[in-house]
Amino acid sequence: MSDFPRADDAVLSASPTPLPYRWRWAALWVILAGEAMDMLDSLVATIAAPSVRAELGGGAGVTQWLAAAYALAMAVGLITGGRLGDVVGRRRTFLIGTAGFTVASLLCAAAVSPGFLIGARGLQGLFGAVMIPQGLGMIKEMFHGRELGKALGMYGPVMGLSYVGGPVLAGWLVGADWFGAGWRMVFLVNLPLGGLAFLGGWRFLPASGPTARTRLDLVGAALASAAALAVVFPLVQGRELGWPVWAFVSMTAGVALFGVFGWYEDRVSRGGGDPLVVPGLFRKRAFSGGLVTGAALFAAVAGFSLALSLYFQSGLGASPLKAGLAVLPWSAGTVVGFVVVQVLDGAGLLSRYGRALVRTGVVVMALGAGAFACALRWAGAHVTVWQGAPALAVVGLGLGLVMGPFFETVLGTVEPHETGSAAGTLTAVQQFGSALGSAVLGTVLFSALAGRVSDATGADASGTPARLDWSRAMEITLGAEAGLLAITLVASFLLPAEPGVTTTGRLTGNDVGD
């Protein structure tokens, strides 16, 4: 018989020397595979977007929705994804999310229209939100002590490799055009990855049942979904429709719905129910400041990533692979920033200077964005994808300096019993910011291009006037990027000077039972 984890292998909690879960390291790689799939799919769409639109057609909003639909669905789903694991069991929930994510990837690859593809991207985001929150919970159960630190430390290299390699992989897959699939390969590659993650999860993840007697707050989830969609939808579609009155009404209503969501969650909590978000979190100035900081930061990052890919491919006529390689300096700079943060952490300085490091990183990002705009202006009609490489490396360095201490600094402001809800809320706001950034900066870019050149493909980008028009539009977009970074910097002053300490759970024995 195969040596699967069994409930009768469990070591009683009363045992003086509890044994760690036998398959914990294999399970860790399964969890990291799921994280890598999510990271890759959040990146590849921006590289593939021009090729998608060239084949399937649609307006400029299609390129924005390819990124925004995934992030928006992920944002909404993350609020309930973590709670779902508590209700039905983390292992079962992870497997459902992995299977659904893989099937949704197949639907993306089979898309025959922009609407079908955007819907499938949203489905990807929803199942990703079911899959991702379970990983951290299982890691905290399977590992403890020094091993927990090592396990969490493996997130950095895996995410860094995915971040650096994602755009290059996407460009290579689109350019290789295997079996005539073209851009569809960026989604088909998830089939073997998802299949292996599912089988590995079935084999190695610890069996687990419900960890809490809670109910899913479906009304709260519906309110959050409606609010987010009411804000993002008109930002993407408003420009193409001439900014009708309903677009502004929708955005105003969306903001109001977020207020209703907060009121409803407080009501549920006071009534002894199970709210999606602990209402008391919003009364903490530092945590609320962290939410604003995170939303603005990730809006700047996601929006810049989308604009950069469109500029390289549609504006300068670069191939998908060349565009992917051109953003490597940004990715590499981010990894360097992470390394600097780890060195400071090892020296015991991160807890003292975390907030200052976040501010420094934002300023460095702004300087890099400004340098990129200067490079475009100086190069003029002779601009190439490589002339902004040093500036992109500076932007990446700043991002790494921000991201390293950001989550620890923000989550250190909450009580231990609030950590789960706080982490889910912060990650959801991060994804909402990404959707918002794709909508806002994409709209700024296409508005700046309106009436100048074709924004559909790179076909018109070979001439000098078209290149100059794209460069001027990109400079305007970088101005909007600077505005988002300014909001990030101002909000960062609400962060605490020193993060607190949170606690973690622990799983002992060879299984936890079902």
As a three-state string, the secondary structure of 382-442 is HCCCCCCHHHHHHHHHHHHHHHHHHHHHHHCCCCHHHHHHHHHHHHHHHHHHHHHHHHHHH
CA angle 348, 352, 353 (to 5 degrees): 105
**The pLDDT value given to residue 301:** 92
Encoded tokens for 507: 């799983």
Taken as a whole, the chain contains a residue count of: 514
Residues 6+ apart with CB under 8 A from 242: none
- Sign of the dihedral through C-alpha 419, 425, 428, 432: negative
Residue 458 phi/psi, 5-degree rounding, is: -90, 15
CB 395 within 8 A of CB 372: yes
> Residues of 91-109 as b/e, b for ≥16 C-beta within 10 angstroms?
bbbbbbbbbbbbbbbebbb
- Sign of the dihedral through C-alpha 49, 55, 61, 65: negative
Q: First and final CA of the chain: distance in angstroms?
A: 20
Superfamily of domain 22-216: MFS general substrate transporter like domains (1.20.1250.20)
Question: pLDDT tens track of the chain, all 514 residues?
Answer: 444 343 334 333 444 445 678 888 899 999 988 888 888 888 788 888 889 988 998 878 888 899 889 988 988 888 788 778 777 888 999 999 999 999 999 999 999 999 999 999 999 999 999 998 888 778 877 887 778 777 776 776 677 677 777 888 888 988 888 888 889 999 999 999 999 999 999 999 988 766 666 677 889 889 988 999 999 989 888 888 888 999 999 999 999 999 999 899 889 888 877 788 888 888 888 888 899 999 999 999 989 999 999 999 988 989 999 999 999 999 889 889 988 888 888 887 777 778 889 999 999 999 999 999 999 999 887 888 899 999 999 999 999 999 888 877 887 777 766 776 777 788 888 889 988 999 999 999 999 987 666 544 444 444 566 888 899 999 999 999 999 999 999 999 988 766 544 433 333 333 433 3
CB 296 within 8 A of CB 488: yes
DSSP state of 493: T
Encoded tokens for 97: 């999310």
Residues 6+ apart with CB under 8 A from 256: none
**The pLDDT value given to residue 15:** 43
Spatial CA neighbour of 488 closest among 411, 388, 403:
403
Task: Say which CATH architecture domain 275-498 belongs to.
Answer: Up-down Bundle (1.20)
**The pLDDT value given to residue 477:** 96
Give the separation between CA 379 and CA 358, rounded to whole angstroms. Answer: 32
Spatial CA neighbour of 428 closest among 53, 125, 44, 7:
125
CB 430 within 8 A of CB 225: no
| 3-state percent helix, strand, coil for the chain, nearest multiple of 5 | 75, 0, 25
Judged on CB neighbours under 10 Å (0-12, 13-18, 19+), 255 is exposed
- Sign of the dihedral through C-alpha 104, 108, 112, 114: positive
Count the neighbouring beta carbons within 10 Å of the beta carbon of residue 3. 9
Alpha helices in 15-60 (DSSP H): 24-56
